Amino acid sequence: MSIKKKITATAAAGAIFSAGFIGLTSEKSPISITADEKKESSIEVDKKSPENVIVMVGDGLGVGQMEIARLLESGKTGDLYMESLENVGMMRTYSDDNSVTDSGAAGTALATGEKTYNGAIGVDSEGEEVDSILDLYQNQGKKVGVISTNTVTDATPAAYTASVADRDGQDEIARQMLEQQYDVLLGGGADYFSPDSQDGTDLVEEFQSTGYEFVDNESSLEEAGTPDKLLGLFNDSYMSYKTDRDELNSEEPSLEAMTDKSLDVLSQDDDGFFLMVEGARIDHAAHAADATGVWEETMEFDRTVEQVVNWAEDRDDTMVVVLADHETMGMSATEPMDIEGLKDVEVSPEYMAQELEMDEETGTFSEESVKQVFQEYANIEISDAEVEEFLSHVQDSDGEVYPAYRVGWEVGSVIAAHYKVGALDTEIRAESGTGGHTGNMVPVFATGAGSEDFEGVMDNTDIVELIANSAKDNKGKGPENSNGKGKEKGKGPK
């Protein structure tokens, strides 16, 4: 049941904050929540419950992506920092209408506790609007924010900040963000705030007129200080891949820099805050079976996890939850995977796709340019037969060449096959409504105040309740997850 419906269903019960409504307050007042709509009394939550919650989403980050990143970064004996967090579980991700979720339905489940159909944002399976945990924090007077290396209006950040029946409505999502006056919004997506997308209205100017500081590159972000509200749009579309930023002479800030600034801004409020941080382009790299990109994007995300945990480690009021929304392309670190070869790949498959030259006679890319691009950027000499097969995959049913990101998927698949990366093949991806997501469970890591219950097998709808019910006293039993499994504090999962 959605948060909004739980609130309505128990309004007459007289609870301090009705079932599922997360009463989020400062340490001066305990949080109260009823975990079941049939209960009339509230469950008291102690004063050490987290005033600050930081949810970190590695989009598309499955165990295979983690292993690829770990091996490329430091070899078989290395570790990712996120692996050191003391509470570890696994999470199922299916959507209401499919065994494999898209990012919209996945983000909605994480943000609201509600299953919905693929493509939806912040609505239930009937299309009814539901509140997110970020909204509930804001309703309690706390600062809130979202960060993404995608567009700030894309699926995951949008699930916390907006409600639309179709995730493609990013212009509407931008308008809802303005209406709701969230404190920090950082990422790509400037096009959706522009007059061309907003019927002649410059939405950035509208944000500024309501008191937002606006920044659009790394330098202006650094110089912004600690304004009360901050809007940062660093690319017209999604932010550039880590592998491409040198080639592009990018002035975009890193995920670490955006997170550092967000913590500075949000922590000004003594009442606490909620922050969602998304390493979004892990997923985009995985769609192209791009192991090199997965490595670079995952390591940036992992460094940001370390940065956040270090920020919170001397505090007893902050919870950090690290998870994925789903897995992409069934990626795995195979035995013959050529680690050194992958580390020498210079740019993303999408960048390579943009370097291909069209042949006007054939209406597709010239064979010569295909061979040249693979040789120059991926150190691969491909045969005439491989060129022919590649060209057969880059056009739609009408013979039109796909956009660069889709051509990049095919470039990446050729590279993955050459360097023996485990991933779904191009035919399965083509038949997938999500472009290659899988139903594989994904990891969950948690640390800090109230994080003890993030253990065992969970569903993505459990995350909101686990955050809300995070402050049972140390003698109590943690909340049951959707499989009926709870645990005693200080003991392993049952």
pLDDT tens figures, 31-52: 332 333 322 323 233 344 589 9
pLDDT at 126: 93
pLDDT at 314: 83
pLDDT exceeds 80 at position 209: yes
Domain ranges of the chain: 50-331+445-463, 339-419
Separation between Cα atoms, residue 410 and residue 283, nearest integer Å: 15
Sign of CA dihedral 204, 138, 111, 311: positive
Average pLDDT, the chain: 87
185: β partners: 146, 231
pLDDT at 169: 87
> pLDDT for 347-356, tens place per residue?
999 999 999 9
pLDDT at 468: 81
pLDDT exceeds 70 at position 471: no
> pLDDT for 277-310, tens place per residue?
999 999 999 999 999 999 999 999 999 999 999 9
More confident residue, 400 or 474: 400
Mean pLDDT of 136-152: 95
pLDDT exceeds 80 at position 407: yes
> Which of 424-438, 457-471, 473-487 is predicted with the least confidence, judged by mean pLDDT?
473-487
pLDDT exceeds 50 at position 22: no
Per-residue confidence band for 166, with pLDDT thresholds at 50, 70 and 90: confident
> pLDDT for 62-81, tens place per residue?
999 999 999 999 999 999 99
> Which of 15-24, 53-62, 172-181 is predicted with the least confidence, judged by mean pLDDT?
15-24
pLDDT at 480: 47
pLDDT at 49: 56
The CATH code that applies to domain 50-331+445-463 is 3.40.720.10
Q: What is the pTM of this model?
A: 0.87
More confident residue, 191 or 2: 191
